[in-house]
Chains A and B, each alone.
Chain A
Amino acid sequence: MTATLASALVTLGELALWIALLMAAWSATVSFAGATGARRDLVVSGERALYATFGFVVLASIGLWTALFTHDFSIKFVASYTSANLPKVYTFTAFWAGQAGSLLFWTLILAGYAAAAVFSGNRGERTRGFMPYVTGTLSVVTLFFLLTMCFGANPFERLDWTPPDGRGMNPQLQNPGMAIHPPMLYLGYVATAVPFAYAVGALFTRRLDAEWLAPVRRWALLSWFFLTIGITLGMWWAYVELGWGGYWAWDPVENASLLPWLTGTAFLHSIMIQEKRGMLRKWNVTLVVTTFLLSILGTFITRSGVIQSVHSFAQSPVGNWFAGFLAVSIAATAWLVATRLPDLASKAELESMVSREAAFLYNNLVLVGISFSVLWGTLFPILSEWVRGEKITVGPPFFNTVNVPLGLLLLALTGVGPLIAWRRASVQNVRRQFTGPALFGVATGAALVALGMRDFYAVVCYALAGFVLATIGQEFWKGTSARVRMYAENPAVALVRLVAKNRRRYGGYVVHFGMVTMFAAFAGMVFKKEHDVTLRTGEKFSTTDPWGHEWTFVSQGVSQYKALNRYVTGVGLDATRDGERVGVISSEKRQHVDKFDQPTFEPSTEVGILEGPKQDVYVVLAGVTGTDRAELRIAFNPLVWWVWFGGIVMGLGGLVVMWPQAERARESGYVTVLPPSAGGVPGGPLPERAPPAPAAAGR
């Protein structure tokens, strides 16, 4: 690419950002005007402007990527986060490594989602009526991000001089996990905007039956899927890169990603109750709105610097933009919900405490309880400063004390919810479904106590995990054997068809299975053991791991050498388990240098991890004294492997659930088919009716 072309592309990108801003403003204005005034021409114009916004945001992104790849260090963003010798892949990912670029990245995803949502929504008979409001709402959100960028943190901001080289990327961010973790998280965060837009549309039009929920469910699932992957990758990155031996520290930024996941998960469950029974209408609208607001709050926490976090971006005026947007969104949606309360009345009543509805309600209660406690703990420093004038923080013990019991209750409900009958479960139903799994759970707990496990919460956790696993196994077994009997299929074929024909249900079980393994893995960390040792070359350290195996580590000596772009001090430990050699675990300290041999950034640590399903042996080189005394931390982290396994399984389960399926095939797949809820009009395309009088007259 010639330099002229490159600089033309960059200039074009900068210009495109401003045009996108105008387009989004136009789309927001005419979409709402067209919707409330029933002007079809304005609505169409708003949609086109939204597609155009996406196009111009793409151009702006191409501009920034061009600047990154051509090393245009006159642009502040490029000079701040990259250097000429940065590997290509990280030059690409530098796009979202800093404030301004990550805002553009966020906007790119948002505009893409918005275009996709409006395009697909217009093709659906049932969704078409909402589209003007969906278009308008998404344009408002896009407009906000474009405003923040153009006036708060412009990625194309120029320096008044051109440095010879950029500052480079933090080595901790030069990790494959870190390269894909932010995009995954953003894809999840941003997808919450579409359900929010539909909620606004449904509230405006007062069409709050299940019809608006079909597209919302798909988008909520997409968001959930990416958030799950993003959070798991974040844990993995923290575990392998940060070297403190854990994967979750209840840091505000971690909490910020968990919050929308929790309320989104609650919504994916409660939506089923509205679909089947017409209940929980207010609740579902509230959850959709809350999930979106929590995503924005998360972004605010990450970017404003109001809360001390290890991960936060530097203090920045962008925080005020987010606080303002948050306040306006809360006020607007609160007004919408308040003025539509009569339309949100429930269509049915809870009939029995022993029913799926009740189990799901409790599931929601617990998930929201966890969200609230996490939010409380995260915002506590701000709240205490408001109330008492002093900043007071709460630490991980707070989060654990509150959330461990709630989490265990959630785990128990994971087993109960999917198996119990709708409306009112009979004694027979309960006995048939739960006798086996309950016995299995109790047996698991008893066996662990007999083997010497004494930690109360851990025993309860494993007993409940056993119970839930048994319910899931039982479901797959019953479904498969029924098919084998009815269609004379061989068991493997029957299993595949069972899942394929009931993706929502069995995909959900797969997700639950992943969740159970994660819980089991979390409980495993109770038994973590760690040792600080100093080893000279040839010296050995012997210890017993939490499983009772005898380990011996022999230092292979300290080596110092220069690699590609760094100086390395490394140590290798020859590890032996129960007298059998298992290999060398090595850990390094690295000092990255630039082309003039000057150190860039702080020395970073490469942790040595011997992974396994039972436990990880985790070795951190703290330092070297003299020439060959390695100061080490050696830790046994039980069951961590199952956290990653659980995350992958949950993601796969999510894919099964999301995989498109013809409407009819899915309906027949249900075991429980309920009569349509009273008053609701499920199914059947709705006529393109005008919004009810009050909504229109209100303008």
Chain B
Amino acid sequence: MKARSKFLVGGFVILSTAATLAFSSTKETAQYFLTPAELAEKVAKDDSFRENGVKVGGRVVKGSIVREPSGRSLTFVMVDTAVQTVTYPVRYRGIAPDTFTDGVDVVVEGRLGADGVFQATTLLAKCASRYENAPEKGGGEHPAGVPKYAPAAPGGAPAPAAAATPATGART
């Protein structure tokens, strides 16, 4: 056999092994990536869909974050970015990333519980969204009744009580 053919055989063996690994692990680790609206639709169609681990991407409803003082668990409400009527309460166990805050886009991984609460095991927050927007007129005024840091993380940074959210309404 010529060297060229031998090389091609060797290459084929390597690449097909890699392809097999890729194919099988694609199957194993593949997860649906849904919007809250799509999740609602799938669950409405077939209730056993709850059993699947899924990734859901939505937005944190402003003022909905309730952090446990320990910083190890929190709940919030996630809204579909397109269909504003579809929301899911989310419970996340773990240390939230620094970027997680009111109004950011998040991706949660986990499954929908029978009680309708989404139990998340991982939580990703997009860090860039907040500073991608220019300040808006009147952005410095604080939306009433949305004390952001005070109840959320009393044990966290000792933000002054007067501190409310600046310019939270910027992402539109």
Binding site for B on A (CB under 8 A): 76, 79-81, 97-99, 159, 161, 163-164, 166-170, 172, 242-244, 308-314, 349-353, 355, 358, 361-362, 365-366, 369, 373, 376-377, 380-381, 384, 390-395, 397-398, 401-402, 405-406, 409, 532, 534, 560, 566-569, 589-591, 593-594, 597-605, 620-626, 629, 631, 633
Contacts and interface: CB of A to CB of B under 8 A. Distances in A.
B131 A170 contact: yes
A590 B68 CA distance: 18
Nearest to B70: A631
Given A393-B55, A602-B99, A597 B22 contact: no
Contacts of A409: 14
Given A597-B163, A598-B164, A598-B166, 17 more contacts: A242-B97, A310-B99, A310-B125, A351-B3, A353-B10, A373-B22, A381-B33, A391-B33, A393-B55, A401-B21, A569-B158, A599-B163, A605-B98, A622-B72, A624-B71, A629-B70, A631-B155
Interface stretch (B24-32, B43-51, B84-92, B112-120): B24-32
A662 to B, nearest CB: 36
Interface of B: 2-4, 6-7, 10-11, 14-15, 17-18, 21-22, 24-26, 28-34, 55, 57, 67-72, 95, 97-101, 107, 124-135, 137, 139-140, 148-149, 153, 155-160, 162-167, 170
B172 to A, nearest CB: 12
B69 A314 contact: no
Contacts of B55: 393
A534 B29 CA distance: 33
B163 A598 contact: yes
12 contacts: A80-B131, A361-B7, A362-B7, A391-B32, A393-B55, A394-B26, A395-B29, A405-B18, A591-B149, A599-B166, A602-B98, A603-B149
A631 B6 contact: no
Contacts of B162: 597
B79 to A, nearest CB: 17
B167 to A, nearest CB: 7
Most buried by B among A405, A620, A623: A623
Given A167-B167, A602-B101, A314 B134 contact: no
A310 B7 contact: no
Contacts of B14: 362, 365-366, 369, 406, 409
A97 to B, nearest CB: 8
A526 B35 CA distance: 34
Contacts of B7: 350, 353, 358, 361-362
A557 to B, nearest CB: 14
A409 B14 CA distance: 9
B67 A623 contact: yes
Nearest to B81: A315
A256 B133 CA distance: 24
B29 to A, nearest CB: 5
A566 B128 CA distance: 21
A699 B129 CA distance: 48
Contacts of B30: 380, 384, 392-394
A212 B5 CA distance: 29
Please name the 8 residue pairs, one residue from A and one from B, whose CB atoms are nearest each other, closest first.
Answer: A623-B71, A591-B157, A624-B155, A622-B71, A314-B132, A401-B25, A391-B33, A625-B69
